[in-house]
C-alpha cells in the first residue's frame, strides 16, 4: 500500500547515459534484478553513501572507485552483499572486474551497488552470467525498467524527470530511486540514480549532491533504522548545449536548485511507499535556533512509535506529539513559547492544550491521508521539514516475513 497514486513519468533519453536490465535470478526468476548504467567518456560522477559502520562491501568499493572517473554502474537487487566480511569484498571486486573485462574498462571505473537481504553470499556466478545480455541491450530509454529492477519491498517504481532552462539551453534530469523500509538517514535503505546532461566538474557536482541529499534524503524516515547499503549517485554526461557550470555562477545556483528539487521528489516518493504506510506526515519545525535543532525535534516526533501508531489509528492523541517535542533534548526550551498544530488546528499553546481546541477538530485532521504537524519553538528563525509515515500492522507483517 502506498499513500496517494503515482504513474511513472515518460522519461526522455539523457544523451551520454545508457541503461539496461536483465533477470540474473539472484533471489527470484520472475523480474529483472540486475541493472547496468553506462556513462560516456568525459562525463562526471558524484555520490553520497550510508554512514552505517557495517556498510556493505559494494559501498566500500564504490566509495573508493569514485575517485577514478567511473563510467559504469552495476546494481543488483535481491542480495545486499552486506555483513559478509572479506568474502563480500572479494565478490564485489570480482563483479566489477568481470564487467570491466566485458566492456574494456578498468575495474576501478565500475561502481557496484546491492540491495536486499543482509548476511547471505552474493551469487556471483549468476550475476556474471547475466552481464553480457545486460551490456548488449544498453539503451537510453530503459529508465522504467531500471526503476523496477532495483525494487525490493517497494510497491511502485519511483522516477522523476525535469528540464531546466539555463540562458536558452535545456538541461535535463532523470532520476530513479528504490526504498520502502529501513529508512532513516544517513541515509535510508535506499538507492537513487540521477542522470543529467549538464557539463559540470566532479568536485562541483559532489558539492551540489551533498547539499541536495542533506535537504532531501536526509530529511526522511520510515522506521528509524539506517541501512548498510544506501547510496545516491549523480551522473553528468556533459552533452547539453549549455556552457559548463562553474563555481559562483548563476547557472550553478539554478542547477543546484533543480537537483535539490529532483532529490526532494524522489525522497517523498520513498516515504509515500513506506512499508505498510497509509499516511504521509510532514513535520515542519520553525522558529528554532538552528537547522540542526529543528531537525532534531522533527525526527524525534517522526521516530516515535506512539506518534506513528496514533496516526495509523487516526487517533488525535496530541499528548504523544507534545511528549516527543519535550524529550527532543532542546536546551532551555521555554514551554510557553511553543505552539503545535495539526494542519491549521492549534493543539498546544502556552505550555498546554490550546484554548478552543476540540477533539472533533483534531479528529477531522487525523482522518486525512496527508497531515502536517507544525511545531513553532519560539526561539529563532530556523525552519526544517522532516517527512515520515505512519506505523501500521502491515509494517510488522512485511518485515516479519522479509526473508521468506
pLDDT bracket for residue 297 (50, 70, 90): very high
Class of domain 280-400: alpha beta
Please report the DSSP string for 301-326 in residue order: HHH-HHHHHHHHTT---HHHHHHHHH
Look at residue 115 and give its three-state secondary structure: strand
Beta-ladder partners of 177: 158, 192
- C-alpha to C-alpha distance for 38 and 161, rounded to whole angstroms: 19
pLDDT grade, residue 187 (50/70/90)?
very low
Cα 347 → chain centroid: 32
Stretch 30-59: mean pLDDT:
93
> In 3D, which of 196, 204, 256 has the Cα closest to residue 43?
196
pLDDT tens for each residue of 200-211: 999 999 999 999
How many other β-carbons are positioned within 10 Å of the β-carbon of residue 403? Answer: 9
List the domain boundaries for the chain.
Answer: 17-272, 280-400
CB 237 within 8 A of CB 15: yes
The Cβ of residue 97 has, within 10 Å, a number of other Cβ atoms equal to: 15
Report the first-to-last Cα separation within the chain, whole angstroms: 19
**Sorting pLDDT into bands at 50, 70 and 90, what band is 118?**
confident
pLDDT at residue 223, rounded to an integer: 60
SS3 339: strand
Quickly list H helices, 119-160: 124-136, 143-149
User: 213 with 190: CB under 8 angstroms?
Assistant: no
How high is the pLDDT of residue 222? 73
pLDDT at res. 20: 98
Confidence (pLDDT) at 184: 46
Statement: residue 186 has pLDDT above 50: no
Taking only the tens place, the pLDDT of each residue in 105-114 is 999 999 999 9
Q: What mean pLDDT comes out for the span 299-325?
A: 95
Q: Is 152 a catalytic residue?
A: no
Q: What is the pLDDT of residue 399?
A: 64
Tell me, what's the pLDDT at 289? Answer: 97
DSSP labels, 193-229: EEEE---B-HHHHHHHHHHHHHTTGGGB-SSS---SS
Please provide the average confidence, as pLDDT, over all residues in the chain: 93
Under CATH, which architecture does the 17-272 domain have? Answer: 4-Layer Sandwich (3.60)
Question: Per the structure block, which three cell numbers stand in for 337?
Answer: 513559547
Which pLDDT does position 43 carry in this prediction?
Answer: 98
What pLDDT was estimated at residue 71?
98
pLDDT average, residue stretch 260-273: 95
pLDDT, position 181: 53
Q: What is the pLDDT of residues 322-369, one digit of tens each?
A: 999 999 999 999 999 999 999 999 999 998 999 999 999 999 999 999
Q: Of residues 189, 221, 278, 388, which has the active-site annotation?
A: 189
Asked if 300 and 283 touch (Cβ cutoff 8 Å), the reply is no
pLDDT digits (tens, 9 = 90+) for 153-167: 899 999 999 999 999
Tell me how many degrees the CA angle 189-265-41 measures, rounded to the nearest 5: 80
Give the lowest-confidence range in 221-225, 274-278, 335-339, 388-392. 221-225
The 10s digit of each residue's pLDDT in 58-75 is: 999 999 999 999 999 999
Which one has a higher pLDDT value, 276 or 298? 298
pLDDT of residue 182: 47
CA dihedral 111, 113, 119, 125 (to 10 degrees): -70
For residue 234, give the 3-state DSSP assignment: strand
Coil, helix or strand at residue 242: coil
Q: Among residues of the chain, what percentage have pLDDT more than 70?
A: 94
**pTM given for the model:** 0.92
Amino acid at each position: 500500500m502506498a499513500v496517494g497514486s503515482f504513474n511513472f513519468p515518460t522519461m526522455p533519453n539523457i544523451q551520454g547515459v545508457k541503461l539496461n536490465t536483465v533477470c540474473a535470478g539472484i533471489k527470484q526468476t520472475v523480474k529483472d534484478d540486475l541493472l547496468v548504467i553506462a556513462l560516456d567518456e568525459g562525463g562526471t560522477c558524484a555520490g553520497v553513501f550510508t554512514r552505517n559502520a557495517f556498510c556493505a562491501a559494494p559501498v566500500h568499493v564504490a566509495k573508493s572507485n569514485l575517485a577514478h572517473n567511473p563510467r559504469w554502474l552495476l546494481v543488483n537487487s535481491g542480495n545486499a552483499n552486506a555483513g559478509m566480511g572479506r568474502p563480500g569484498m572479494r565478490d564485489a571486486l570480482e563483479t566489477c572486474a568481470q564487467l570491466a573485462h566485458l566492456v574494456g574498462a578498468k575495474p576501478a571505473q565500475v561502481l557496484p551497488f546491492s540491495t536486499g537481504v543482509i548476511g547471505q553470499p552474493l551469487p556471483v556466478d549468476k550475476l556474471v552470467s547475466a552481464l553480457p545480455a545486460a551490456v548488449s541491450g544498453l539503451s537510453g530509454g530503459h529508465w522504467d525498467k531500471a526503476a523496477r529492477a532495483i525494487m525490493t519491498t517497494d510497491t511502485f517504481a519511483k522516477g522523476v524527470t525535469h528540464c531546466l532552462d539555463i540562458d536558452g539551453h535545456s538541461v535535463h534530469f532523470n532520476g530513479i530511486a528504490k526504498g520502502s523500509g529501513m529508512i532513516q538517514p544517513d541515509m535510508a535503505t535506499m538507492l537513487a540514480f540521477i542522470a543529467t546532461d549538464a557539463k559540470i566538474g566532479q568536485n562541483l557536482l559532489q558539492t551540489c549532491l551533498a547539499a541536495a541529499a542533506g535537504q532531501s534524503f536526509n530529511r526522511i524516515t520510515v522506521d528509524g533504522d539506517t541501512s548498510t547499503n544506501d547510496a545516491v549517485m549523480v551522473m553528468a554526461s556533459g552533452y547539453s548545449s549549455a556552457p559548463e557550470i562553474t563555481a559562483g555562477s548563476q547557472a550553478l545556483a539554478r542547477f543546484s536548485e533543480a537537483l535539490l528539487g529532483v532529490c526532494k521528489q524522489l525522497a517523498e516518493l520513498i516515504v509515500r511507499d513506506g512499508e505498510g504506510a497509509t499516511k504521509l506526515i510532514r513535520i515542519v519545525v520553525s522558529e528554532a535556533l538552528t537547522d540542526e535543532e529543528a531537525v532534531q525535534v522533527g525526527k524525534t516526533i517522526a521516530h516515535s512509535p506512539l506518534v506513528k501508531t496514533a496516526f495509523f489509528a487516526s487517533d488525535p492523541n496530541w499528548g504523544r506529539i507534545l511528549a516527543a517535542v519535550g524529550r527532543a533534548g532542546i536546551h532551555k526550551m521555554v514551554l510557553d513559547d511553543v505552539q503545535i498544530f495539526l494542519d491549521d488546528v492549534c493543539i498546544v499553546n502556552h505550555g498546554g492544550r490550546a484554548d478552543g481546541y476540540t477533539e472533533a477538530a483534531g479528529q477531522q485532521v487525523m482522518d486525512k491521508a496527508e497531515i502536517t504537524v507544525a511545531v513553532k519553538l519560539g526561539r529563532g528563525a530556523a525552519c526544517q521539514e522532516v517527512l515520515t509515515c505512519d506505523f501500521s500492522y502491515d509494517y510488522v507483517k512485511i518485515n516479519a516475513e522479509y526473508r521468506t
